[in-house]
Structure 1
Amino acid sequence: MKQSIFSLLVCVVMVLGAIATACNTGPDSRKAAQDSNEVKFNKSDTANPSTATLEKDADFAVTAADGGRMEVELGQLAQRNGQRQEVKDFGRMMEKDHSAANSELKALAAQKNISLPDSLSEGMKRKYDRLRDLKGAAFDKEYIKLMVADHQEDVDAFRHYTDKGADQNLVQWAKGKLPVLETHLQHAQQVDSLLKH
């Protein structure tokens, strides 16, 4: 009985996700992924007490995927809308590095049966939309300011996860990405300093 209710819940979440994607309305993509993971890794599953831990690992993966997707899309935007070559080059680096990281995370999540967002979350869309219509120097300033703040948050989140995460494959992936994120932060700070002079 418990298994059939669980199966029904999984089906309902999948159907709602498909409907939301088809209509482009409905739940936020990040929330939909989190809800799907919550059903899969239900904390009340007494047969498998590690499911609450798996849900925390899944939450990290969802957050990392959402942020990584935004970095790629904003990197592409920087190459189109940026004025300074340093900003365009930084955007190219974001697109390349985060595309590779996103592919690795997607493959790892598939192995772990973790659902990831299939589009930008509402929060990430708002960040993207704020920059979309800016061009030239105005774009450069706002984009790099966002990249500094965003990478500071990313570095903190990845450090925290590498200390507290349970899934060793995901922890190792995060450890491997942490130096890259730290380099991105330093680079963003350097470009930010250039733009202020």
Structure 2
Amino acid sequence: MRKHIGSWLVAGALLVGGPGLAQSSADAGTASAGTDALTTAKQLIGQDESGLLQRLHQANKMEVELGQLAQQKATDSDVKQYGQMMVTDHQALDQQLKAYAQKKGVTLSEDEPSAANDTEKAVMEAEKASKAKLQALQGPSFQYAYVADMVEDHDMDISKVAAAMEQFKSNAELVKMLEATAPKLTEHRERAYTLLGRHKAKAHMASSGKK
């Protein structure tokens, strides 16, 4: 479902400018692909500031929940530690988001917002399916699927932030908050990508019955 992820990464790199992502963008595609990706990402961030804040809040909640799942189900310490980092960092990011929302008079709901369009509906459904899959997996298969999901999730999150910085560029206070968020998302993505390479072989051996 997440066929736009590769090009979303281009958009994120173009606007956020993280060093790791800049290299990834060169591999992922061209600037025109990044422009198309921004158009897609803008369909996932709501139509106004309140809608954006609600979606960022839900994204933080999801990363915390999956991080807790990783701590419960992972057997390797590096994946457990990554899961703990997701819980700690995204709880902190969400506290910053809540403080900003309170200042703006926006009440953040714990319920998932209604999809604003077909693209967002499809992404929400894919995220639910991905979470259900992770809940059903065990051992090396879980660990590989989890870190792969974290690469994709953070590619998406980075591109949402990039799209929001473009769409709400006249809102200097909001842009400042988004700019402060971007480096942490970049770090998470790069750590997940490193783990992905490490656990791919383990998952393959487990699925083939090799030891």
TM bracket, shorter-chain basis: 0.5 to 0.7
| Counterpart amino acid of residue 183 in structure 1 | E
How much has 1:171 moved relative to structure 2?
Answer: 1.5
What residue is the counterpart of 2:135 in the other structure?
A: 132
Q: Deviations over 1:9-40 (max 9, x none)?
A: xxxxxxxxxxxxxxxxxxxxxxxxxxxxxxxx
Aligned to 2:100: 108
Q: Distance in 1 between matches of 2:137 and 2:111?
A: 22
Deviation at 1:139, TM superposition (A): 0.9
Candidates 179, 184, 193, aligned match of 2:188:
184
Stretches of structure 1 lacking an aligned partner (at least 5 in a row): 1-53
Task: Specify the code of the residue in structure 2 equivalent to 1:195.
Answer: H
- Taking every aligned residue pair, what percent have the same amino acid on both sides? 29
Please tell me whether residue 147 in structure 1 is matched to residue 150 in structure 2: yes
Matched residues, number: 144
SS at match of 2:48: helix
Secondary structure of 1:137's aligned partner: helix
In the alignment, what sits opposite 2:80?
88
Does the alignment pair 1:79 with 2:59?
Answer: no
Secondary structure of 2:156's aligned partner = helix
| Per-residue deviation, 1:142 | 1.1
Distance of aligned partners of 1:100 and 1:116 in 2 relative to their CA distance in 1, 3 Å threshold = same
Query: Following the alignment from structure 2 to structure 1, what is the Cα–Cα distance between the partners of residues 142 and 183?
Result: 27
What CA RMSD, in Å, does the superposition of the two structures yield over aligned residues? 2.0
Report how far residue 112 of structure 1 moved: 1.2
CA distance in 2, matches of 1:118, 1:168: 27
Question: Post-superposition shift, 1:100?
Answer: 0.4
Q: State the secondary structure of the residue aligned to 1:115.
A: coil
Q: Please give the residue correspondences for 1:33-44 in structure 2 after superposition, counting only pairs within 5 Å.
A: none
Paired amino acid for 2:110:
D
Shift of 1:173: 1.1
Higher RCO (C-alpha under 8 Å, 6+ residues apart)? 2
Aligned to 1:26: none
Q: CA deviation at 1:119?
A: 4.2
Distance 1:91 1:151 in 2: 14
Describe how 1:3-82 pairs up with structure 2 within 5 A: 56-82=48-74
The 8 Å contact of residues 69 and 120 in structure 1, kept in 2 or not, is answered as no
Bigger Cα displacement from structure 2, 163-172 vs 135-144 = 163-172
Higher CA-based Rg: 1
1 CA distance for matches of 2:51 and 2:172? 15
Cα-to-partner distance string for 1:37-93 (whole Å, 9 max, x where unaligned) = xxxxxxxxxxxxxxxxx9522222111111110000100110010122111111011
Aligned match of 1:11: none
- Matched-pair contact (CA < 8 Å) for 1:162–1:171: yes
